[in-house]
Structure 1
Amino acid sequence: MTDNQLGEFLRARRAGVRPQDVGMASHGLRRVAGLRREEVAVLAGVNADYYARLEQGRERHPSAQVIDALGRALRLGPDAHAHLHRLAGTVPTGDFAHTTDRVGPALRQLMDGNPGAPALVLNRALDVLATNALAEALYSPFEEADNLARMTFLDPAGRQFHARWGDAALATVGHLRQAAGLDPDDPRLRDLVRSLLEHSAEFARLWNTHTVHGKTREEKHLLHPDVGLLTLTYQAFDVRDAPGQQLIVYQAEPGSPSARALSLLGSVHATRTGTAL
């Protein structure tokens, strides 16, 4: 990570917007992908030199109004728009708290009390802090279910497990980008990103797109060696007494093949480990 995160983000997102996306005509040979700096400035209603200084890191104190205008000009979604504000320092940080990796007993009891749904607790760096038995069964193809990003990019099982690996990889990078905006000085997150950049060219390519993506209810398409294809949705819940932690609960459509496969997976895992789900 550099000390000009705001400029890098603006450049990357500018490169992803074409003139026709924003109703602009494209004239002459374009030396850059996406919009020119001058075009972003026009769309946002700011001085072109001022915008150039923002990208170059020579101006680091834009107003919230300027950031809102740039977010609209670059067609940012809600997650990316909020991330842009954080990078610019225009979002209050008084309510921000560093997370703890300790999972409380009441939360563990809640997870274990719902044996039919895989449930896990993550921190901002996507470290797996706790799982219930069915989540343990779900992630059993991996050498170690320790960090979702490492598992996706560096574990050999990752590309087989995620039936739509490209979508899973992009979402994973987006989650880490969002986390970096929330807590850019988190040493765990910095070490994780450094390791992924060093060992995965695909991660490096996606990281440089500056995609920001919060957790949603989108479907997961997983291919488990024991039960085949699983199509699952999930809900993400913030853990109120442990800021930064999220409880993730997966579920399959009732009565669907995925629901039957998930039930079978629980039985297989229980037989294999000698435990009861």
Structure 2
Amino acid sequence: MTNASTAAEQLADFLRSRRAALVPADLGVVTTGLRRVPGLRREELAELAGVSLTYYTRLEQGAASNPSTQVIDALARALRLDEVERAHLYHLAGSATPRPVRSRMRPGLATLLDAMPDVAAIALSPVQDIVGWNRLGHAVLASHLDPAAPTSDTPPNKVSMLFTDPATRALHRDWEFEARLAVASLRYVTGPLVTGHVNANGANDDIADLVSDLASSSADFARIWAQHPVESCSSGTKRFRHPIVGELDLTYDMLHLPQEDGHRLMLMHATPGSSHDDALRLLASTTLSG
């Protein structure tokens, strides 16, 4: 028995075991009658992963080797693998080390955000994906998006929204200033990429992809990126033209979490007693019925 066939058989065993562990109802798969085997059927998993049933069957039979990265990623998502299982799947498939899964907010942070109803709070990943917000944070920054967007497979990215989402662009009264600030912050985060150091939170590839995608899709981003602005952007003022309450100036502070994993909280509040404070309170009142 060759090493290749052994690896293919181990991959097949792992795929079968994880497929059997899935609960169809949890994945939105409608079942009728008795099922002869636990978990999903091969055809059901192949459909969820977006791969051909014939090819997936060959993988489970140990008759195919060296599946592509795209196939492994799709299978990992369909099988609901955690990071350790996903890395193991890559190893069995003979692929390179998997890129890290885009960050998710730790459950405790959601409780913390909800405990600050008078502050617009947003949780950001190392690559500025919005991975959580409280009701007021959602109402201020992205009321046009689904409140559950941060928990989706593709959470909204704060920088990308600024350059590619018309509603976000219109939200900022001084868009050029805000855009330059966003690029400057992204430049600051990309330091490890430029120097060759490994980013401890494993976000290098995602940052590189974000920069590449935005440089291709937004002439404004490409223009500002080429100017090499750099700032840490830890505090300042956001000047909004909000669709519900009009002009809204909020002071923001960026708080780095003690775990030092690159996640940050952006907290926004208005000057007490100001018209902006009144506007923020009015906006907060509109979230109570949601």
TM-score normalized by the length of structure 2 = 0.57
Aligned-partner SS, 1:107 = helix
Do residues 224 (structure 1) and 226 (structure 2) align?
Answer: no
1:73 alignment counterpart? none
Amino acid at match of 1:111: L
**Alpha-carbon spacing, 1:136–1:106, altered in 2? closer, same or farther (3 Å):** same
Do residues 165 (structure 1) and 167 (structure 2) align?
Answer: no
Q: What per-residue deviation string (whole Å, max 9, x for no partner) do you get for residues 101-143 of structure 1?
A: 2322322222111100010111222110110111011123444
Do residues 252 (structure 1) and 262 (structure 2) align?
Answer: no
CA distance, structure 1, for counterparts of residue 182 and residue 171 of structure 2: 14
2:52 alignment counterpart? none
Q: What per-residue deviation string (whole Å, max 9, x for no partner) do you get for residues 61-101 of structure 1?
A: xxxxxxxxxxxxxxxxxxxxxxxxxxxxxxxxxxxxx9972
CA distance, structure 1, for counterparts of residue 101 and residue 244 of structure 2: 35
Contact 1:121 1:248 in 2 (8 A): yes
CA distance, structure 2, for counterparts of residue 112 and residue 182 of structure 1: 33
Do residues 108 (structure 1) and 110 (structure 2) align?
Answer: yes
Contact 1:101 1:123 in 2 (8 A): yes
* Aligned residue pair count: 175
CA distance, structure 2, for counterparts of residue 226 and residue 128 of structure 1: 22
Equivalences for 1:124-143 in 2 at 5 Å? Answer: 124-143=126-145
1:36 alignment counterpart? none
Measured after TM superposition, the shift of residue 158 of structure 1 is 2.5
CA distance, structure 1, for counterparts of residue 132 and residue 101 of structure 2: 15
CA distance, structure 2, for counterparts of residue 200 and residue 140 of structure 1: 20
Contact 2:142 2:168 in 1 (8 A): no
1:8 alignment counterpart? none
Amino acid at match of 1:159: R
Aligned-partner SS, 1:219 = strand
CA distance, structure 2, for counterparts of residue 189 and residue 138 of structure 1: 25
1:239 alignment counterpart? 257
Match of 2:218 among 175, 200, 207: 200
**Alpha-carbon spacing, 1:100–1:240, altered in 2? closer, same or farther (3 Å):** farther
Contact 1:141 1:224 in 2 (8 A): no
CA distance, structure 2, for counterparts of residue 252 and residue 169 of structure 1: 22
CA distance, structure 2, for counterparts of residue 236 and residue 157 of structure 1: 23
Unpaired runs of 5+ residues, structure 2, are: 1-99, 150-155, 199-203
**Alpha-carbon spacing, 1:142–1:204, altered in 2? closer, same or farther (3 Å):** farther
CA distance, structure 2, for counterparts of residue 167 and residue 208 of structure 1: 16
Contact 1:152 1:159 in 2 (8 A): yes
Unpaired runs of 5+ residues, structure 1, are: 1-97
Measured after TM superposition, the shift of residue 202 of structure 1 is 0.7
TM-score normalized by the length of structure 1 = 0.59
Amino acid at match of 2:166: P
Amino acid at match of 2:121: A
Equivalences for 1:13-28 in 2 at 5 Å? Answer: none
- The two structures, once aligned, show a CA RMSD in angstroms of 2.0
Larger gyration radius, structure 1 or structure 2: 2
**Alpha-carbon spacing, 1:206–1:193, altered in 2? closer, same or farther (3 Å):** same
Measured after TM superposition, the shift of residue 246 of structure 1 is 0.6
Match of 2:122 among 96, 120, 123: 120
**Alpha-carbon spacing, 1:99–1:182, altered in 2? closer, same or farther (3 Å):** farther
1:179 alignment counterpart? 189
CA distance, structure 1, for counterparts of residue 190 and residue 244 of structure 2: 36
Measured after TM superposition, the shift of residue 174 of structure 1 is 0.5
Contact 2:215 2:222 in 1 (8 A): yes
CA distance, structure 2, for counterparts of residue 100 and residue 200 of structure 1: 22
Percent of aligned pairs with the same residue? Answer: 34
